[in-house]
Structures are given as C-alpha cells and as structure tokens.
Amino acid sequence: AQQQAVVTIHTDQAEQIIPKEIYGQFAEHLGTCIYGGLWVGEDSSIPNTNGYRNDVLEALKKLKVPVLRWPGGCFADEYHWMDGIGPKENRPKMVNNNWGGTVEDNSFGTHEFLNLCEMLGCEPYISGNVGSGSVEEMAKWVEYMTSEQGSPMAKLRKENGREKPWKVKYFGVGNESWGCGGSMLPEYYSDLYRRYSTYCRNYNGNVLFKIASGASDYDYNWTEVLMKNIGHRMDGISLHYYTVLGWSGSKGSATKFTEDDYYWTMGKCREIEDVMKRHIAIMDKYDPKKQIALMVDEWGTWWDEEPGTVPGHLYQQNTMRDAFVASLTLDIFHKYTDRVKMTNIAQIANVLQSMILTKDDKMVLTPTYHVFEMYNVHQDATFLPADLQCTYKNVRDKRNIPLISSTASRDKEGRIHVSISNVSLDEAAEVTVNLEGVNGKQVSGRILTADKIDDYNTFDNPDKVAPQPFKDVKIEKGSLLVKMPAKSIVVLEIN
C-alpha cells in the first residue's frame, strides 16, 4: 500500500532563524553518562585526550553540539561545585543519592566540563544548586568561572591551573524545583529565584542568560506563577517533557514493543506541541513581546532500564522508534522558535534517549544520533513554513496522528533542506514537495530506515541502523517527487 502526501513550502514567508541551540544536549552525573561515557580519565587504557574519550569526542564533533547542559538534572541540586576543583586526590567523594547511590569521586568537575565545551566548540549551560546549596555558593561559582582577575575566586581558579575565565552564558537557577530540586511550591521557588539570581553577577563582559526552573508536562500553574512573580528577572524558563508511559510502574521495554505501542509513542511525543502551546499562551499573557525564552531543557524517551544494568542508571537501548521521536519533535520545535530558544535532549551518552552508547572501549552511535547528525543542516538556518496534507491515523489514548511529518529551512549559502518522516509501519509514501518561488536544479539526500521498527545498533553490529544515500527523488519545475519506504526519515538538500 502507498499513501500520498503534499508538502507546500512557503519560501517567501521565511522569518525565524532556527537557533542552533534547539539541537542542545544534556550530560548529567548519572550512571555512565560522564564516567565511562564522556570521561575515562588520563590514565585510562581507553584512547583519550586529557581524559576525554577520543571516539566520543570525534562523534560529538560531527554532531555539531551547540550547547551542553551540566551537571544535572536532579544531581545539580545536590552538587557542591567546590568538591570538584583542585588536585583530584584531594577532592571529596559523595553519594549520588538520586541515581543508584553510586559513589561520585568528583574527578569530573568545573574545569573538566568547561574545557570539554571548549574542545567541542559548544556553549556551556550550567545548572546551579538551589535545592541544597547556598546563595553564596552559587554566587562564588559564577565568579570562579567568569571573573577576569583580582577577585578571590579568579585567584583560586588560577591556582587550579586556569588563567583566563571561561565564557558561560546559560545559567539555570535550580532544576525541577517542584520535585527533586527541593519539592517547592511555585510561589516559594519564585522568591528563591529572585534571591539567588540577584547574586549571579555579570563579570568582565560575561553576560549571563538566567533560566528559571520551569514546569514538567501539564503543570500550567507553575508557569503561570513564575511568569507573574518572576517576570523579566528571568531570561528563560524551562520545560521538561518526556515521552513516557507514566511515572509509576513499568515504562515499557526500549526494544520489545507492539505496533500499538509504537503508534502510541508517536502520539505521545507529538503531544509536546499542545503542551508547549499552552505554556506559551501563558507566557504570551505576561510577556507579549516574547522576551522570555522557553527552554525545553529535558525531553526524549524514557523506557525501562535494560535488563541486567545497574538500577537507577537509566541505561536504555535506542531503536528506529526513538529516531522518529527525535525527528518528529525537532520538526515541532522548528515551528516555535519565536519563543523556544533552546532544547536539550536527555541525554548525550548512556542515559535515556542517548546519542551514544559505550561499553568499555567500544562505542555505538544510536539511531537518535543519526537523526541529530542528519538534521544539523537546520542549525541556524532560516525556517521555511509549510503546509502538509497527508493521511491521519487514530492511535491509543484518543490521539490522531499524521503519518507524515516534515520541516524545511534555508541555510546561509541559500541551500534548502527538507526533512520528511514517514512514520507508517506498512505504507510507503509518495510525497510531493512544492517549493513555492524556488526553481531548484539539483537534489540529493540521505535516508535513515530499518528492516524492523525495533532494530537497533549493538556493539557487535554497530551499523544496523545508519544513514544511506537516498536516490528516490526527482526534481521538476520547482517541485520534488519523493518516494519513501515505510518507516523512514529522509533529509534532502536542494540547490
């Protein structure tokens, strides 16, 4: 069976830039995200540069990571940054209470994180500790990282081997303050935000972009109270939205699922659009000029941990189903960049919907990595609005989903990129793409697909799901005819 779809791209209505930060990542001290995933230490037998894994560094450079959030998550509100500076042998250990009670040796701290960001050429996004840290501690952290000279914290930084301050723009004042970050009520958190953020200073031309700890999912009251009580004291407010079955009981297997589960997942991930719209409508009431950004700084799939892995480490496999969650969600983010300025998928390695999985000296790139890599052509490009006509399907939980999803942009060199996902499990799609006002001459593309929707990459078979050249596209008089197999994602480039 074959479905028909029409995508009409309005190249004359281009207005918004898709900030590269929409493609942001998140690295928490959780399981083997940092230790084993990004960092193995200088003395490791795993090939590394100053302690960072070479294979992972290289893969992340190809991904063009624009911004990296750290050190949490829930971990951030128990983290005391001073434990993670100075000679490694003197750094105190702590118990990572949120994530399996693992002992944290603090060998990866502020220097290790900010130096990694410099190596990757990405912006750091620091999450400060409001839940169990003091105002003084947070203020001194900002001073340590960003003040030029003369201050006590700049002196300490120099003693620890770093002469120049780092550039730190994004600073989160707490994380999930309604839950693991302090179980607060929104009114109380608003006051704490005002207090803590007052002492996060701008040193020597470094201007902080301060982000308040926002709502999860459907908690619209949290956004309402913060917008009312904090207002323009914040530059951004966060939102967390996971594609998850629920917060109690089994979340379902990452790799063993039915067709019905698959379509449910597509519906649940797409629901982020309605959720964002409702948070945005509240923000519009208090901030009609859209000066405060919405930062979706945690999103992605959350399945049961892989059997046999350490409980609390949130290690999960990643199939072609996860790839669709990535492409569909990115397609949605592109439409709201007048308000949404950053998003951070959870997480970069070995945790939840990760880009990369590692085991000892082995590394595999997940289907989600491949979507992020194929889609990175949209970073900082101009969004091109489009209309879509396609078939819809009723799925579990009374959701009705389009079987095609698409997004388009024009980059600085004038090239147009069109991404299309065909989420149908059994129907190929013939998609006509009308490029209004553009007479493209050449088209090339890549496709990500799999024999089975639950296919995934393993350490023994790392390229089972990987992008391939795509040829089933014709260009004629400004329109494209694209023939996509079932369950496939293509990214096309038109010159």
Amino acid (1-letter code) at residue 69? R
Residue placing its CB nearer to ligand AHR in the complex, 124 or 131:
131
From 114-122, 323-331, 345-353, 420-428, give the range in contact with ligand AHR by CB under 6 A.
345-353
- Smallest gap, in angstroms, from Cβ of residue 241 to ligand AHR? 11
73 belongs to the binding site for ligand AHR (CB under 6 A): yes
- By C-alpha distance, which of 123, 121, 20 is closest to 334? 20
Q: Which is nearer to ligand AHR, 72 or 186 (CB)?
A: 72
Q: Which stretch binds ligand AHR (CB under 6 A): 71-79, 158-166, 198-206, 481-489?
A: 71-79
Of 21, 176, 271, 373, which one is the catalytic site residue?
Answer: 176
For residue 202, the minimal CB distance to ligand AHR (Å) is: 26
When the beta carbons of 166 and 171 are compared against ligand AHR, the nearer one is 171
The helix-helix angle for 54-63 and 110-120 (nearest 10°) equals: 50
Return the axis-axis angle of helices 272-286 and 259-270, rounded to nearest 10°.
10
Is position 346 an interface residue for ligand AHR (rule: CB under 6 A)? Answer: yes
Q: Is 148 one of the catalytic residues?
A: no
* Minimal distance, residue 240 CB to ligand AHR, in Å: 6
Binding mask 109-128 for ligand AHR (x = CB under 6 A): --------------------
Residues in 4-63 that interact with ligand AHR by CB under 6 A: 28
Q: Residue 123: name the closest of 206, 29, 234, 233 by CA.
A: 206
Could you give the CA distance from residue 308 to residue 278 in angstroms, rounded to a whole number?
Answer: 40
Q: How many CA atoms lie within 13 A of 436 on its CB side?
A: 13
Tokens read off for 248: 């109690």
Phi, psi of 389 (to 5 degrees): -115, 125
Least distance from ligand AHR to the Cβ atom of residue 87, Å: 29
Q: Which stretch binds ligand AHR (CB under 6 A): 66-74, 88-96, 142-150, 437-445?
A: 66-74
Tell me if 39 sits within 8 A of 113, measured CB to CB.
no
Choices 50-58, 322-330, 346-354, 369-377; region in contact with ligand AHR by CB under 6 A: 346-354
In the set 112, 298, 305, 373, the catalytic residue is 298
For ligand AHR, give the closer residue by CB, 51 or 174.
Answer: 174
Give the side-chain half-sphere CA count within 13 A for 104.
Answer: 27
Nearer Cβ to ligand AHR (79/209) = 79
For residues 448 and 452, what is the distance between their CA atoms, to the nearest angstrom? 12
Site size toward ligand AHR (CB under 6 A) is 10
**Residue 77 interacting with ligand AHR (CB under 6 A):** no
Does 175 bind ligand AHR (CB under 6 A)? Our answer is yes
Q: Is 441 exposed, middle or buried (0-12, 13-18, 19+ CB in 10 A)?
A: exposed
In this complex, which beta carbon is closest to ligand AHR, that of residue 244 or of residue 466?
Answer: 244
Per the CB < 8 A criterion, the answer to whether 372 and 63 are in contact is: yes
Which CB sits closer to ligand AHR, 47 or 101? 101
Tell me: does residue 298 bind ligand AHR (CB under 6 A). Answer: yes
Could you count the other beta carbons within 10 Å of the beta carbon of residue 161?
10
Residues 6+ apart with CB under 8 A from 142: 168, 171, 200, 201, 203, 208
Separation CA 221–CA 460 (nearest Å): 48
Q: Which CB atom, from 150 or from 246, has the smaller least distance to ligand AHR?
A: 246
Of 19, 72, 124, 440, which lies in the binding site for ligand AHR, with binding defined by CB under 6 A? 72
* Strand (E) or helix (H) holding 418: strand 416-422
Q: Is 232 exposed, middle or buried (0-12, 13-18, 19+ CB in 10 A)?
A: exposed
Residue 104 contacts ligand AHR per CB under 6 A: no
Query: Is residue 78 part of the contact set for ligand AHR (CB under 6 A)?
Result: no
> Comparing C-alpha atoms, which of 277, 289, 302 is closest to residue 220?
277
Minimum CB–partner distance for residue 488 and ligand AHR (Å): 29
Q: Work out which of 77, 78, 112, 176 binds ligand AHR, going by CB under 6 A.
A: 176
DSSP 8-state assignment for residue 77: G
State how far the Cα of 246 lies from the Cα of 283, in Å rounded to an integer: 26
* CA 31/CA 348 separation, integer angstroms: 12
- Residue 297 contacts ligand AHR per CB under 6 A: no
Amino acid, res. 222:
W
In the complex, the smallest distance separating the C-beta of residue 423 from ligand AHR, rounded to whole angstroms, is 25
SS3 467: coil
Interface with ligand AHR by CB under 6 A: which range of 70-78, 118-126, 327-335, 428-436? 70-78
Closest CB to ligand AHR among residues 23, 203: 23
Q: Is 298 noted as a catalytic residue in this protein?
A: yes
Give residues in contact with ligand AHR (CB under 6 A).
Answer: 28, 72-74, 175-176, 298, 346-347, 352
- Catalytically active residues are 176, 298
